[in-house]
Amino acid sequence: MAVTADPAAALAADGLVVPAWGRSPRVLGICVGMQIMFAEGIEHGVRTEGCGQWPGTVERLTAPVLPHMGWNTVLAPEGSTLFAGIGPAERFYFVHSYAATALPLRTWDRVAPPKCAWSTHGNAFLAAVENGALMATQFHPEKSGDVGAALLANWLGTLI
């Protein structure tokens, strides 16, 4: 693994973990890296265009306390690659005030519809999406201890 700001090195990588959009064969977006994959985001009344990889809007959560900061369970989809071997009682670390609350099911990769994982803070929101080679989490696996390391290992397994 290496950290780089060189676009050529990023494009040549077998896998890429990014806080923003990359053009690697496989991408894992984390937190804001997930949010920018959607068509748009609205923050403080300002509408901003996203990468448009998924339809939908990232908006402020409706919750009594924001930011949502802490440990939550995630309802993973059946057959998930990211959550393989991870039980439903496991908790992941979140820190965010914005999220997508819907993702219309359709086939972007022309093979299967995306697999969506959900969590709740005030209202339900997308906690992770698996869409072919494009995967993303709203939570921080790198801050989620052993369970986050297991999820990252699952993602790394897709690079082989």
38 found inside a domain: yes
Domain span including residue 79: 7-157
Please check whether residue 2 lies inside any domain of the structure: no
Cβ neighbour number for residue 154 with a 10 Å cutoff:
18
Mind listing the pLDDT tens digit for each residue in 64-109? 999 999 999 999 999 999 999 999 999 999 999 999 998 875 555 4
Residue 1 included in any domain: no
Q: Are 27 and 18 in contact (CB under 8 A)?
A: yes
Q: Closest Cα to residue 116, out of 83, 149, 92?
A: 83
Note whether residue 21 is domain-resident: yes
Give the CATH number, domain containing residue 126: 3.40.50.880
List the catalytic residues: 31, 140, 142
How many domains are contained in the chain? 1
Residues 137-148, mean pLDDT to the nearest whole number: 98
